[in-house]
Amino acid sequence: MGRGGRKKLYLPYGRMKGGDVERKIVYEIGEQDAGGTVMQFLRGKRYSGQMIGALKWSGDGITCNGRPVKMKARLQVGDRLMVYAHERERSEDILQVELPFPVVYEDEDLVVVSKPAGMPVQPSWYYRDNSLANAAAFYYREQAEQFVYRCVTRLDKDTTGLVLLAKNPISSGILYDLMANREIKRTYYAIARREYERMLQTGEKGIIDLPIGKDMDAANVYKIDRENGKQAVTHYEVLAGTEDYAYVKLHLETGRTHQIRVHMEAMGYPLAGDETYHGSKPDTVTGLHRQALHAGMLEFSHPITGEWMRFEASLPKDMKDGLL
């Protein structure tokens, strides 16, 4: 048994029962796409050149009306273009550990999970058996499904809320492209301490546009760096405020490490419970033992269907209690 009585299964991920991961996607060609080439169609669906090359190399990865097809072939109305991904890859080094894995939504292409506090999204030397990856490995082993760990959106260890995982190489490539082009909308909720004279007013909205860079004098700490930092843009709205605290809704336009935490500290409102950025732990008023930050909403276009997806996760109990 692991810490806290958690069950550990040290069976390598690649030896699980169940077959290889397979995903077949059929596109019915309509008038809008007729006349274009197969390559143009797939690139329009956000398949990368690398993904198209891998599918072609597999032999039967891309077919039209049941037959192999060249990328320069012209599509006609009524054609059935099929993309077939047959994956043998495994996340073999990830230990399978029985941990919370609260699934908010799942289909053939993706899974949205509401991550608890204290859980890193990636395993590492220090977190070999208590990450979201360990929880995912156990979850899919219990269902006798193969699974490669592909984390599209990430959260700090002590930040709670929604995380998006891709379940196959096709959805992974498209979701990463959406992420790179800032087309996955992430909304956060935070409790921030007041440290400067000005008090954030309820209903106040604004944009924080300050570049962020690594603090070379401290491990895993970031700072406002106007000379060498990367652009970072955060939109905020104050939902409620007191003389000491503000309850804030935040939307990320960029996704720098610790972006919200650094930006709020720069405004004179470090997050409650955030010991790294001038807070205290536990927080003297809310009693929070972690930074008061929650990824409460996630919105994006489905990588295969194009349907607009919107998911919400309610505020965790410790933050609710901190607002009382």
Which CATH number fits the domain that encloses residue 145? 3.30.2350.10
Does 278 lie in the same domain as 174? no
* More confident site: 201 or 227: 227
- For residue range 121-175, list pLDDT tens digits in order: 988 888 889 999 999 999 998 988 888 899 999 999 999 999 999 999 999 999 9
CATH number at residue 60: 3.10.290.10
143 Cβ contact partners less than 8 Å away, ≥ 6 residues apart: none
- Which has more pLDDT, 194 or 173? 173
Choose the most confident range, by mean pLDDT, from 16-20, 218-222, 281-285: 218-222
User: Which is it for the CA torsion 121, 123, 128, 134, positive or negative?
Assistant: positive
Question: Which residue among 122, 147, 180 closes a domain?
Answer: 180
* 2 has pLDDT over 70: no
Q: Are 95 and 8 within 8 A, CB to CB?
A: yes
- Give 92 or 260, the one with higher predicted confidence: 260
pLDDT tier at 7, thresholds 50, 70, 90: very low
What is the set of active-site residues?
156
pLDDT tens-place string over residues 22-31: 899 999 999 9
Whether 11 maps to a domain, the answer reads: no
Same domain assignment for residues 38 and 144: no
Q: What is the pLDDT of residue 197?
A: 65
By three-state DSSP, how is residue 249 classified?
strand
pLDDT score at 18: 43
Residue 279's pLDDT is 66
Element (H, E) at 209: strand 205-209
Q: How many domains does the chain have?
A: 3
In a shared domain, residues 74 and 98: no
Do residues 205 and 304 both lie within one domain?
Answer: yes
The beta strands (E) that lie in 29-175 are given as 62-64, 67-68, 80-87, 96-97, 103-106, 110-115, 160-166
What is the domain extent for residue 284? 185-323
